[in-house]
Amino acid sequence: MHELSIARSLLGLVRESVPVGAVVRSAQLRVGPLQAVEPDAMKLAWRAATEGTVFEGAELSLTLVPWALCCRECGRSWSSENWSDPCTCGSCRVDPVGGDELTLVSIEVDETQTRLGSVDSGRAVKRDQASTEVHRV
Ligand SMILES: [Zn+2]
């Protein structure tokens, strides 16, 4: 299952990003449309991947990123839920840009249950080089 392999990679990143013993409340993932991730399946997969680990019970929140589209006629770029949207100039020659994002955006760690220092990490589950913030709450 596609989502399960993503969940496992994600779990590996979370494990590397937080101090040993930290209690992870939640992880935020940004997903581009090309990843074809089904949110419910993704959450189930996350639950399955974390079960029996110290991260069991951590919540996964997903942000589904819309398509970034660019018009070949007039150069306008915009974002849309629908990749086949025509441009406002009337052109149908529209290209999707990117869309394969899969980024662990942030991790929320419960500070009341750990006394460990802060964590800096900049991690993408795949290709993208976005940064991951670890929020301590
Ligand atoms: Zn256009």
> In CATH, what number is assigned to the domain containing residue 44?
3.30.2320.50
Q: How far apart are CA 93 and CA 91, in angstroms?
A: 5
Q: Could you read off the pLDDT of 52-103 as tens digits, one per residue?
A: 999 999 999 999 999 999 999 999 999 998 888 899 999 999 999 888 999 9
Find the 27 Cα to ligand 1 centroid distance in Å.
Answer: 37
Find the 36 Cα to ligand 1 centroid distance in Å.
Answer: 26
Find the 24 Cα to ligand 1 centroid distance in Å.
Answer: 45
Same domain, 85 and 126: no
Same domain, 43 and 92: no
Same domain, 89 and 60: no
Q: Could you read off the pLDDT of 105-137 as tens digits, one per residue?
A: 999 998 766 544 445 444 555 444 445 666 665
Find the 96 Cα to ligand 1 centroid distance in Å.
Answer: 13
State the residue range of the domain holding 72. Answer: 67-98
Q: Could you read off the pLDDT of 27-57 as tens digits, one per residue?
A: 999 999 999 899 999 999 999 999 999 999 9
Find the 63 Cα to ligand 1 centroid distance in Å.
Answer: 27
36: left (phi over 0), alpha (psi -120 to 50) or beta: left
